[in-house]
Amino acid sequence: MSMKIEDKLFLDRFKVADESHLRIIDGEKCMAECPDQPCLYLCPANVYRREGDRISVNYEGCLECGSCRIGCPHLNVEWRFPRGGFGISHKFG
């Protein structure tokens, strides 16, 4: 029985900050100039999801790998570290 990404993320310990550390700089660009939308594939936490005519950013489950920042062909993702002590805390690592 294949395990879903939601269930994988449920294993992890997150201290979720109120404010997102990820932001799509120009949402229009994703729809108008980015037919492939690789963020939908390469994010290991399924943070980026297509919702109608926009891409939603579900930062709460971010594993903080940085892939969206450099993998976005338009460098359209503003990426900061979550505030100190927030985000994922590995139990095992």
Partner 1 sequence: MKEAFDVAIVGAGPAGISAACVLADAGIKTIVLERGEYPGAKNVSGGVLYGHDLARIIPDYVERNCPIERNIVESRIWYLSRDAGYSLGYRDSIFATDRKHNAFTVSRAKFDRWYAEQARQKGALVVPGTVVVDLLRSERGDVTGVLTGREDGEVRAKVTLLADGINSPLAALTGFRSEPKPEEVALAVKEVIELPAEVIEQRFGVSSGDGVTTEVLGAIAGGMDSVGIIYTNRSSISLGLGANLADFADYKLKPYELLEAFKEHPMVAPLIADGRPLEYVAHWLTEGGYDAIPELYGDGYLIAGDSAMLFNGLHREGNNLAMASGKMAAETIIEALSRNDVSRTGLAGYGKKLADSYILKDLKKYRKLGGFFYHHKELFDQLPRLATSAGREMITVNGVSKKEKQKIISRNFRRGMPVLKLLRLLWQGWRAVK
Which of the 8 DSSP states describes residue 55?
E
Tell me which stretch binds partner 1 (CB under 8 A): 22-30, 52-60, 69-77: 69-77
Q: Which two tokens stand for residue 20?
A: 């997102």
Among 19, 29, 33, 42, binds partner 1 (CB under 8 A): 42
Among candidates 64, 30, 27, 72, which has minimal Cα distance to 45? 64
Nearer of residues 54 and 70 to partner 1, judged by Cβ: 70
Q: Which two tokens stand for residue 50?
A: 């297509």
Residue whose entry in the numeric block shows the structure tokens 């037919």: 35
Tell me which stretch binds partner 1 (CB under 8 A): 9-17, 24-32, 48-56: 9-17
Q: Does 60 bind partner 1 (CB under 8 A)?
A: no
